[in-house]
A = this chain, B = another copy of it.
Amino acid sequence: MAPTQTRSWILANKPEKSVELDEKSSNATFKQKKSEIPTLKENQVLIKTLLLSNDPAQRGWIQKDQDPDRLYVPPVNEGDVMRARGIGRVIQTKSDKFKEGDLVTANTNWSQYAVLGDDSVQKINEIPGVPISVYLGIAGLTGLTAYYGLIEVVRTTNKDSVVVVSGAAGATGSVVLQLAKNVLGVKKVIGIAGGKEKCDLVKSLGADIALDYKSDTFKQDLIDATPDYVDVYYDNVGGEILDLLLTRIKKHGRVAACGAIAGYNDREKGVIKNWFEVISNRIEIRGFIVIDFINKASEIVPKLVQYVKEGKIKLEGSETIVDAIGDEGFDQIPKIWHKLYEGGNTGKLVTKLE
């Protein structure tokens, strides 16, 4: 029988600095609510959420006091269900584009069930042997982000001899380093990650060098690893690591500015001091957002899936799936998401509701 109610997490208070995860706090960032599921209208579908995507950029959507003009997507407003990509199953349909049982990807948000117009839902053509979480990661926006930034935005080829990627054990970074090493054939690929476990993963994915930014010797390690400096830096973190990298980019080197997680919860940590390097070493920096590349998805995703089949991109280590099954599990959704900012995951962080 079709469900009549859904639980959701709404954005209760936009955070200025840290996210307040305690739902009982007067300043709680998120609060739960229960609501009736509306009756479907024409061209709508009812989706049951199976998996939720956790993405560093979500922090930006909820930041207090932002000019909506300057955001690449509308902000999430207080009172709205927290926005998130998800994978779900169509369980009711008034659309002739979808039938019951279809596997889809959409902004299901932090809800057990979502009613959506059929033009905001994409059908997933399941490939036997490929776990469905891959459509949030390597074969989803994450993989596209890696490809777009590295290959289109800063035009990396095997003529570049040194590529550095930060957040290298993360969702995007782990794909970037494999594309650079195993697909493009860049001579030296250096991955930056936090802690031994993540650095081991980075090495196992094919990086020539893994550098631990939590190490006391990180700065010197980076200098030692880049005697000939760096052609391309794919930046997932911003802040101090970006600032340090600016001192190691080659003359006329390029920076793909993908993320700035260092500053998401604390602007002070996102500060850049070595700006003069940009001038004296003629550095090219390009910020980018994958949605500008979304019309190439149908062309690029099959390539990425092919790289997976050829073993050039590994599924092992490409995701961390955290169970949030059942009613108690649902309570954990914000805490699981927040692991992104605690450095707790390797690869794509996925929340599994069923």
Contacts of A271 in B (CB 8 A): 271-273, 275
- Whether B282 contacts A292 by the Cβ 8 Å rule is yes
- Whether A258 contacts B279 by the Cβ 8 Å rule is yes
Contacts of A270 in B (CB 8 A): 273, 275-276
- Whether B273 contacts A267 by the Cβ 8 Å rule is yes
A279: contacting residue among B279, B283, B288, CB under 8 A:
B288
Q: A17 an interface residue at 8 Å Cβ cutoff?
A: no
- Contacts A70-B247, A247-B70, A271-B271 hold; do A283 and B287 have CB atoms under 8 A apart? yes
- Whether B275 contacts A279 by the Cβ 8 Å rule is no
Contacts of A163 in B (CB 8 A): none
Q: A72 an interface residue at 8 Å Cβ cutoff?
A: yes
Q: A137 an interface residue at 8 Å Cβ cutoff?
A: no
Contacts of A272 in B (CB 8 A): 271-273, 275
- Contacts A263-B275, A271-B272, A275-B238 hold; do A284 and B285 have CB atoms under 8 A apart? yes
- Whether B278 contacts A285 by the Cβ 8 Å rule is yes
- State A207–B92 Cα separation when bound (angstroms): 61
- State A287–B272 Cα separation when bound (angstroms): 15
- Whether A276 contacts B292 by the Cβ 8 Å rule is no
Interface residues on A, range: 35 or more
Q: A160 an interface residue at 8 Å Cβ cutoff?
A: no
Q: A124 an interface residue at 8 Å Cβ cutoff?
A: no
Contacts of A258 in B (CB 8 A): 279
Least CB distance from A291 to B in Å reads 10
Within 8 A of B (CB), among A269-328: 270-273, 275-289, 292
- Whether B263 contacts A276 by the Cβ 8 Å rule is yes
- Contacts A247-B70, A273-B267 hold; do A279 and B289 have CB atoms under 8 A apart? yes
- Whether A281 contacts B72 by the Cβ 8 Å rule is yes
- Whether A257 contacts B286 by the Cβ 8 Å rule is no
- State A209–B313 Cα separation when bound (angstroms): 53
Q: A329 an interface residue at 8 Å Cβ cutoff?
A: no
Contacts of A67 in B (CB 8 A): 247
Q: Identify which of A70, A238, A260, A292 gathers the most chain B CB atoms within 10 Å of its CB.
A: A70
Q: A71 an interface residue at 8 Å Cβ cutoff?
A: yes
Contacts of A242 in B (CB 8 A): 275
Contacts of A257 in B (CB 8 A): 275, 278-279
Q: Identify which of A238, A251, A275, A284 gathers the most chain B CB atoms within 10 Å of its CB.
A: A275
Q: A60 an interface residue at 8 Å Cβ cutoff?
A: yes
Nearest to A252 among chain B residues (CB) is B292
Contacts of A260 in B (CB 8 A): 275-276, 279
Chain A positions within 8 Å of B, measured between CB atoms, are 60, 67, 70-72, 238, 242, 247, 251, 257-260, 263, 267, 270-273, 275-289, 292
Given A270-B275, A271-B275, A272-B272, 5 further pairs, Cβ under 8 A: A70-B280, A242-B275, A260-B275, A278-B285, A280-B289
